[in-house]
Structure 1
Amino acid sequence: MKFLVQRLAVLVVALILAGCAGVPRRADLPSGATPHTIYLVQFGWHTALLLEGAATLEHSTKLRTDFHDTRYLMVGWGDGEYFVSEHAPWSKAVKALVASDYPALQVGGRDKNPPLGAQARDTVALAITERGFQELVEYIDRSIATDANGKLIYLGDPAEHPDRFYRATGNYSVFNNCNSWISDALRKAGLPISSFNLTARGVFEQAQRIAALQHEQPTPN
């Protein structure tokens, strides 16, 4: 218990510092044509990405195995036990922060934007380049673990949830959570997001600032 309290105390300090981090500059925005729009979606303490379905499946060698003809794909990352369970007990959330066994990637087809469970104020539209989009999809593919035979590792019961849950690469912890994974994904897409983001609010507010800067500057022909 003492160890847990110490870790949570460090987290509180980290969250305070994170509020001051990551003010994007216009000079750091993606240069050149930005034909793709991705959406950051906030669900309370959790963030996810909403991507163009057809373009994502065109570039992904793993997701096209399970998805076809979907307008959007929503992607998120989290602890392999707590994230996958529909009604996980609070004890699993605590365990995920200090002793997660493995992470999971959640991917689901969506036909609306904003997706179910979110409102317009919960989404931020971000413009990225073709190269940035490819880098983002490659990052998502690398985040999906495979077994010794190169097969995808599925988690959870598909009958209980319409989305797919894949065993993911990396290590989930209090300092490497769903929001920091999203931050890494956005940086792969070429967006100037701070590398130190542990809260959904921190990621979302930075994305809002970037979107505002993008809206102000003229779109290249």
Structure 2
Amino acid sequence: MTFTVRQLMSLLATALLAGMLSGCAANEACYEPATPGDSLHTVYVVKRAWHTGVAVAAADWPNRDWSVLADFPHTRYLEFGWGDARFYQSQAEEQTGWSALRAALFSTASVVHVIGFDQPTPDALLADEIIEVRLSAQGLRNLTASIEAEFKDAAPRSIGVPLRGTPEPNKFYYAKRRFFFPRMCNWWTAQRLHDGGCPIAAWTVVSPNRVVREAKGFAGAP
């Protein structure tokens, strides 16, 4: 069976809508109830339009020898997002329905985008929403290790040019994972949260709204 571009876009839109509507926030914390409060660490879920990422305080990063930290020596936080190499690095005016479809179905490479910033606020990050999520010390180690494992090289080197309309400094790095629908950027963010101990079924996540809803559930957990 063959599909036209219009039909493929319709199928993707239907699946995206299903991902937006399905699932409820877990309203459970990302750590065991007996975990001491003073041992918890804050990470941030960042939403921009159809994309989400996760941010961590640079000072909290367990692996102090990781080379990416040296690329952002003067920033307090690092945000990480993932996507198709061609689409993610293109400017907003270059992004079309066809380029989005090509990324979802015919991606040939993926990248991790790293943004350095000093204040975890929507204005500073040019973001729609930012949600604080608390992790245990082990959860933070697991989340940061899972992020490091997403880079193609053990000692990553930045590629390309910074993305306009995004806080600077920001850099792209080659990623090892294959990008394809439905395992796209919001699935990637959800998987990082899952690795950090959050009760989220990443394989069910397609939309940014689902990530935000789940993150608010974690944040509001007793």
- TM-score above 0.5: yes
Q: Which of 138, 141, 152 in structure 2 is aligned with 1:134? A: 141
**Matched residue count:** 208
- What is the aligned partner in structure 2 of residue 2 from structure 1? 3
Is residue 161 of structure 2 the alignment partner of residue 157 of structure 1?
yes
CA distance, structure 1, for counterparts of residue 188 and residue 163 of structure 2: 27
Listed as ranges, the matches of 1:97-136 within 5 Å are 97-114=104-121, 115-118=124-127, 122-136=129-143
CA distance, structure 2, for counterparts of residue 159 and residue 129 of structure 1: 32
* CA shift in 2, pair 1:140/1:3, >3 Å: farther
Q: Which of 42, 61, 72 in structure 2 is aligned with 1:67? A: 72
What is the DSSP-based 3-state SS (H/G/I as helix, E as strand, rest coil) of the residue aligned with 1:190?
coil
- What is the aligned partner in structure 1 of residue 31 from structure 2? 30
* CA shift in 2, pair 1:55/1:151, >3 Å: closer
TM superposition score normalised by structure 2: 0.83
Contact kept? 2:87, 2:99, Cα under 8 Å:
yes
* CA shift in 2, pair 1:59/1:179, >3 Å: farther
Root-mean-square deviation over aligned CA pairs: 2.5
Runs of 5+ consecutive residues of structure 1 not aligned to the other structure? none
Is residue 99 of structure 2 the alignment partner of residue 92 of structure 1?
yes
Q: Which of 12, 15, 35 in structure 1 is aligned with 2:14? A: 12
CA distance, structure 1, for counterparts of residue 11 and residue 82 of structure 2: 24
TM superposition score normalised by structure 1: 0.83
Contact kept? 2:84, 2:111, Cα under 8 Å:
yes
- State the 1:173 CA deviation: 1.6
CA distance, structure 1, for counterparts of residue 106 and residue 41 of structure 2: 37
Listed as ranges, the matches of 1:46-65 within 5 Å are 46-56=51-61, 58-59=63-64, 61-65=66-70
Deviations 1:124-171 (A, max 9, x none): 11110011111111111111102xxx5525331259773110011111
Contact kept? 2:41, 2:137, Cα under 8 Å:
yes
- What is the aligned partner in structure 2 of residue 45 from structure 1? 50
* CA shift in 2, pair 1:93/1:60, >3 Å: farther
- What is the aligned partner in structure 1 of residue 213 from structure 2? 205
